[in-house]
Each structure stands twice: as C-alpha cells, then as structure tokens.
Structure 1
C-alpha cells in the first residue's frame, strides 16, 4: 500500500480509546509525490562519443547493404537468364524473375542472420569472408530443400551460376570496401578512440600491438595506470599520455570522447573492477576489451564458456595429425599439380635466360630440414653464380641477416637474371615438385638450413612440427626484412594456429606480394 495514501486516510479517521471518541490531529509533514523519479534509477543515455561511433558504423553498413543487394541480384538474374535462354516475350521472364526474387530475399536474410555486417567483423578480412561463406552455404542448403519439396524450377541454374558468381562478387565487393575502410582509418576516420588501462608494463605491451595493427582500427588517445605516475608511455619513438588513475578510467573516457576502453590488466586489490567499469561506461563507450597475455593464440582456438557467472576462456591445444592435416595434404597435391603445368611450360624460357646469363646448372639443390627434423633436397631455379657456396665464407663478415641467417641485400654472387627471379619469387616455383613429393607444403614455416637448426633452442624446434612451406606468414610479412625474433614468432604462430582458411588467406596475400615484392633479395 502506498505510504502517502495510507497516512492521509489514517489522519482523517476518528479513533476511540476507552469509549471516548477523539479526532486525531493531521500531521504537517507532506506525503511523498506519487510518481517521484529516483535519479539512481534513470537508464544511461547515449553520449556524443558513442553516437559518433555508431554514426560511421551505420553509414558503412548501409553501403554494404547496397553492394550486397546488387551483387546477389546480379547473380540471381544471371542464373535466370541462363535457365530461360532465348525469350520471345517479357512474359517468359515472369517465372524466373519470381524465383530470382525469392533467392535474393533468402540470401540477404541469411547474410543478416549470420551477422556479416557486425561492427566486430567490419574490415576484419578472413572473419568477415568466413561468415559470408557460411551464410551463402546455409542459404542455398535451405533453398535446395524448398525447391525440391515444392518442385520449383531453376534450382540447377541457381546452384551452378548464382551461388559461385554471387559468392565471388560478394567477397570481392567486401574486399574493396575493406580497402576503403583501411584507407579511411589511415586518415584518422572510422577508428575507435581508445584508452588503455592497466599496469604500466601491460599498457605498453597492448599499445605496441594496437598501433602495429595493419588495419588501423584503434587510435590510442591515452592511458590510465595503476602506479599513479603521469610519465608518458613510450612505444617506439612516440609517447602516449597517461591521463590519470585506472580507477577513474570511465570519467576520463567520457571527458576525452573515447568510445573504446582496453583493459590491459586490473588492480590487484579490486576483483570487481571490470564489472564496475562496464557499468560506468554504459552510454559512453561501444567496446570494453579485456586483454590477456596468451600471445599468438588465434581466435579459432579461443572460446568463452560461462560457468555460473564465471567466464572461462578455453584454449584448444594444437594437434599435429588427423583429418584436418589430411585435407591440407590433399589440397597441396591438387594445387601443386595445377601449378606444375604452367611452370613446366615456362621452364624452357627461364632455363634459357639462366644459361645465357651465367654458366652452370639451371636448377639449384640445397639441403633443408623438414618436418620432424628430416632433411631433404629443396629445388630452386639457380639465381647465383655456380660457385656461390664456396665463396660464402669470404662474405661472412658482411652478413646482414638476422640471427643464424646469412643474407646480403647486394650479394655479389647473384646474377642479373637471378635478381629478377628473386624479386618476384620465380626462383621458388620448382618447389611445387617438393610439395608433390611430400617434403614441403604450399603454406608452412620457412624451410631452414641444417646449420640454422643446430642453433635452435627448445622453443624454436616447434617450427619443425609441420612441413615447411613455399610461402607462409614470414613471406607476406616482410621476408628478409624481418628480424630473427619476428621470423621465429611468425612461424610459431602459424604452427600453433594454422587452418585451411588461414592457408587460403596466405596464398592470396602471397600473390599480391609477388606483384609488389618487399624484402626479397
């Protein structure tokens, strides 16, 4: 019962005591208003920082909506034209047009249900393309069932024409938008304005990773730390301001217009810090990102399992045999067979150029170390003079390679034709024969020399758990320009996190690196 109403009724009513009737005096204290609003119960409202973030996300998603619809409509229309063939009147297009509209609607619906335009995957590349592929496969699985049950015509054309054409067009359009988004982010647009919170060492580590992100998705505007110091955090040749204590992160985020908070670590004496910070950021930030030091663990190996309010991060342990490795081997065999056909056609031309440039054999055989430490002879087109190995010791003092690697940017042993072959990685084409033979894989760690392996420590030996590759993360990330530590880190990351999707991504990026080479000498 409402207190204000009950008290008024009580004051106005007569009361008796010992048979004597008397009237109670009305109290002078006014009752609380019936619909009074409690300030603490008011839901947080969207702040300008969050509205600014959502504005560019909405604009970008609308552009994706348009290009997705155009791509799918063109694919469905092409299938309808193939299905009908020559037409006499426009009435002949009515049936295929209805089927095409049905396909377009179902396809777009599945793209929406698969969250292919979520902010988390915008510009993410492989994750975005994977969702598009899953949505497309599911859409046509459902459509095939409906077509068969309803005995609708046009299924074959939609499967053989619309699905592959539409999928390729969708991925290509998303790739173009991703390039545009990265360009905008390089200009400082369409980025998340970030404050990094945590212990100073952890904040420095996270900032280093964020600013090194090739997608430029995060713009660090400052940091809050646990030590109470205001000295800037230096990463490379740039300093990032420390704007206050970690306990006031939300207030500083609101004052600076940050739309994302990255928690590098939490205060040791405050286990509820993250939950309270999430409450304080409501209406202000779009993201609260929690970091951990599980370095080089890729997303597919991580999963979140809530257990009675306790979020458990599960990390899948890598496996180095089984069905997925059989699929990788099958893909290696098929692709190497397809690649060797044009390579054999080009070999006479390349061989003639090598012979005319310098005397010696066309092919160069070098002993390398493969999976499980087994040695094999790797084949390449010769790019150096015939006696290059014997003159290596005299050039050892000029070595510019990192760690145990021997590299010279201007190696006098490289021939003129060899320099061209190296620049565009043509010298490595015969290695497809190594792949077919089973010594190598198309994608894998860099194949090391036996002398390099003898210098390995216990960690680096993990590079030998998989077959070495013609290409890999090391090749698309700078090749000879990489430090020894970076080369090892990339190889170990690949060994622990590889997948078929990762291999396809590396192959695609390798093709781009061959056209615009970097670090090849």
Structure 2
C-alpha cells in the first residue's frame, strides 16, 4: 500500500499551532518564577506583620542573601524532577505530583543547607514561603492547564496525530481522542497492517499507509505524535526497531493498549525482564458501599439540609402558590441492588404531566432510555428556574439521609429503564444512586443516553472518595452555569 499525500501542507494552521507547544516549558518556568517572587514578598510582609519567631534574624537581611538562592534552587529542583518536560503539560496528574514533590525537596534542602552553613534564615519567612509557595505553584500550573485546554478547544496548541493498528483498534483510540478534545490531538489518518487494503476505517479515518511505514508516514504528513494501538506491530522487536527509527524525527510516541475507562489509580506498570506489564486492580465499587462513604453522606446531607432550610421552605411556598397542587413529586426509582424507593423532587410540572407523557413520546419519536426534551410544555413557570439551577432536586437530600441515595453516584433509573438494561448497564446498581455524578458534571441533559451510561459505569468501577469530592466541586460550577439543564 502506497502512502497518500493527505494533510502534508507544511504551512497548515495545525502545524503552526503545534510548534507553539515548544514554548510551554518556558511558559511554565516563567509562571513558577513569578509565583515564587510574589510568594517571597508575601512571606516577607507576613513575617513582619505577624511577628512570629521574634528572636530570629532580621528578615530583610537574611532574605536578601538567601532569597535568590532559594528561588534558583527551587526552580532547579523542579527542572531536575521533570517539571518542565513538554509532555507533562495539559493532562494528567504527573505535572502536579512533580511540582509538589519538588517543593518538599526544595524546602528540605533549604533547611538543611542553612543549618550546615550556620546561616540564620528567618524561620517565619521559611515557613510562610514554602507553606504558601507550594499551593501557589500548583494553582499556577492549574491556571496554565486551563489556558492550554481553552486554547486547544479553539484550535491552538494542537498536535497532528497518526494512529497505527488494526481498523477496529484505531477507531477505539480515535473515539477517545475526539471525545476528549481538550487533549489537543488532530487525527491525520491511520496506518493499518499490510494485509488490510481498506481506504478508511469504519468511523471515516483515512488509511494513509501501512503500519510498517510509520517513519515515512510521519515525514510525509508532518505528524507530531504517533499512537501504536492493537495490531500495529507483529512482534515487540518490530516496535523496538520502529522506535529506533523515530528517535531522529523528534516525534512523540504513545502506546495505546486496549484498556479504556479505567482510572490511573487502578493501573500499575511493573517492568519484568524488560517487559512492561500492566497490572489492573479490581473495580472499586464495593468500596463505595462501606461505612466511610455512608458516614460522609449522612453528615453531609444533614449539614446541607440545615444550610438549605430557608431555600427549601421558600421553594415549597412558590410551588404551592402557583397552582395549589402538591409540593413534592414522588417517583419510584431503582436503587442499590435493584431495590425500589420513592425519590423526592419539588414538582416542576403540571399536575397531569404523567397523563400527557404518551403524547410527547409519540411527538418526539422516543424509543427508550432517559426522556428529556427542551421547552417541555408540561413544565410550570416556577419549575423552569427550579430546573435551571437544579433546586428541584434538593429534597433528595432526605433520600440521602434515609440511605436510599448517596450525595454522589449514578443517576437513579426508572424501573422501566432497568428492565431494558443489559449486563453492562446493570453494574450501575452495585452502588447507591446519587444526587449528582459524573454525567451531571459532564453535560447533564446534553449527553446521549449511551454516554451517560458510560460515565456512570466508569464511576462504579473506579470509585474513590477523592473523586466524590471532585464531582461535588464540579457540580457547583455545572449548576451555576446551567449547562444542559432543562
């Protein structure tokens, strides 16, 4: 199969944008430097105003000597720890781990260095500088990441990618890369095994050549990164020789095994005899049913009920005053292990909403799954603002308190939905349903039913308390922005 001359324009916007990636390490360095200088000034003022460790040396004198050395040493520690490598910017936790660990090491080295040199560094300055500096550096990197991801969504800082492998594996990798657009990959084409004579994959990715011609394809199409998916090579020796050829082309190489929707906490790579083995820990859904999460739900729901008591009372009056109908809408939902429970919500629809449902199904061509429609004629006037800010779901705090639901978990399904579940979707019932979850903070009603199921299954298989806290934090932003709420 000959190589096609597709996407080889050397002056293309995508190619020009990818060159900007080389400036990311320098940008990160300048941000870190600015943060350190700012934190140093704050530490000087704070040491003087708080008047801590009054017996220590004059802060201005000691910082004038040690300050620049601490900053240079701190930057050097981050650099030696890999905190300025181009491939860590924009995704993953590795960047934050390196910056955090480097901060601890720099603090230790500064303390030991001052002790050995018998330098009288202000202890108040030292504590303030590193206790504020490490979180400030992490916030600086977070801001840089947000800027990178925003730029990628608008077409900048993107990389041209080739995917080598069988057509089915190429499509698997391409689906993830397209779904997670913030990663910044523009898929140029696919490279398939020699026996495959197809011109494109099932999802429409053009086949540009054979997987054995990776080097030539990278040169012809000016790719920045190549993904090796399943079926790309016949033996490990072939991949090793390909890597030797690619080392002269300054291209990023990524091996994409057929492992998706598994969190990094469950994956461990342990080389044995030169063979990198991927160990995958069992799913963590059983951990989500233990006393720690239940205690968190009980305490959290109690505090939230007290905090939202005035809003709950005001909303109840608004719903009642609108049409004199019932305040709450009670609907049977399916909970953990298939047990049914009465799910509470503030009523946002007219009293005869259920009777009008069949007509709306016929009108919209509904075939199954979660039924949602924009401008639903059954929604009442107060129901619109209740839905917009998800206030209608606040009574579910009582479901959480009773143990029917959790603060975070999969969406509570209707019994009719559960009847249509396949074996995969049934895994959602291993844990308590939640007031919020991954699908709510990832688009809410704008997601397809299949995508919502995929996110719920990811949550079930990869549960952690840290993830719950992150989802709760993201929920506030999703609600305030009213993303996908109708």
**TM-score category (smaller protein):** 0.7 to 0.9
The answer as to whether partners of 1:107 and 1:139 remain within 8 angstroms in 2 is: yes
**TM superposition shift of 1:103:** 7.6
Relative distance call for 1:221 and 1:381 in structure 2 (3 A) is same
Is 1:414 the counterpart of 2:379? The answer is yes
1:55 alignment counterpart: 22
Alignment partner of 1:357 out of 316, 322, 334 = 322
Summarize the Cα distance change of 1:407–1:92 in structure 2 as closer, same or farther, 3 Å threshold: closer
Partner of 1:225: 192
Unaligned runs of 5+ in 1: 1-47
More divergent stretch after superposition (321-330 vs 496-505): 321-330
Per the normalisation by structure 2, the TM-score is: 0.81
1:191 pairs, out of 158, 170, 194, with 158
CA 78–487 in structure 1, closer or farther in 2 if over 3 Å, else same: farther
RMSD (CA atoms): 3.9
Aligned 1:464-503 pairs, distance under 5 A:
464-503=429-468
Tell me by how many angstroms 1:492 deviates. Answer: 0.6
The 3 A distance-change label for structure 1 pair 108 and 58 is: closer
Shift of 1:125: 5.8
Residue matched to 2:168: 201
Instruction: Compare 366-375 and 469-478 and name the one that shifted more.
Output: 366-375
Report if the CA contact (8 A) 1:354-1:362 is conserved.
yes
Q: 1:371 to 1:519 in 2, by over 3 A?
A: same
Task: Please show how residues 106-255 of structure 1 align to structure 2 within 5 Å.
Answer: 111-112=78-79, 115-124=82-91, 128-129=95-96, 132=99, 165-166=132-133, 169-226=136-193, 227=195, 229=197, 231-233=199-201, 235=203, 239-255=204-220
Counterpart residue number, 1:306: 271
Q: Write the mapping of 1:348-427 to structure 2, written as runs, cut at 5 A.
A: 348-398=313-363, 403-427=368-392
Q: Which residue of 1 aligns with 2:242?
A: 277
Following the alignment from structure 1 to structure 2, what is the Cα–Cα distance between the partners of residues 163 and 434? 44
Cα drift, residue 483 of structure 1: 2.3
What CA distance in whole angstroms lies between the structure 2 residues aligned with 1:435 and 1:409?
A: 28
- Contact map agreement 2:439 2:456 (CA 8 A) in 1: yes
1:77–1:100 Cα contact (<8 Å) kept:
no
Task: Tell me the SS of whatever aligns to 1:377.
Answer: strand
Question: Under a length normalisation based on structure 1, what TM-score does the superposition of the two structures give?
Answer: 0.76
Measured at CA, do residues 231 and 394 of structure 1 come closer, stay the same or move farther in structure 2, by a change above 3 Å?
closer
The residue that corresponds to 2:4 in the other structure is none
Residues 427-454 of structure 1 show CA distances to partners (whole Å, capped at 9, x for unaligned) of 1223233333333222211111222222
Does 1:520 pair with 2:485? yes
1:240-270 CA-partner distances (Å, limit 9, x unpaired): 4332221111122133322211012335644
State whether residues 359 and 386 of structure 1, in contact with CA within 8 Å, keep that contact through their aligned partners in structure 2. Answer: no
CA contact (8 A) 1:358 1:415 kept: no
Q: Please state whether the residue corresponding to 1:366 is helix, strand or coil.
A: strand
Cα deviation, 1:295-319, whole Å, max 9, x if unaligned, reads: 2122221111111122211111113
Contact 2:33/2:71 (8 A) holds in 1: no
Give distance in 1, aligned partners of 2:292 and 2:100: 19
Q: Which residue number in structure 2 is paired with residue 341 of structure 1?
A: 306
**1:28-60 CA deviation, whole Å, 9 max, x = no partner?**
xxxxxxxxxxxxxxxxxxxx99x9477333333
Distance 2:380 2:302 in 1: 30
The aligned residue for residue 458 of structure 1 is 423
Pair 248,153 (structure 1): closer, same or farther in 2 beyond 3 Å: closer
Distance in 2 (alpha carbons) for counterparts of 1:376 and 1:146: 63
Deviation at 1:422, TM superposition (A): 0.7
Q: Distance in 2 between matches of 1:142 and 1:332?
A: 42
Separation in structure 2 between the aligned mates of residue 489 and residue 274 of structure 1, nearest angstrom: 32
CA gap 1:322/1:517 in 2 versus in 1, 3 angstroms: closer
Deviations 1:496-516 (A, max 9, x none): 112233223322322221122
User: Quick check: which has more Rg, 1 or 2?
Assistant: 1
- Partner Cα distance (1:97, 1:363) in 2: 66
Q: Which has the higher contact order (CA 8 A, sep 6+)?
A: 2
1:256–1:455 distance in 2 versus 1, CA, 3 Å? closer
Aligned to 1:438: 403
* CA positional deviation for 1:386: 3.2
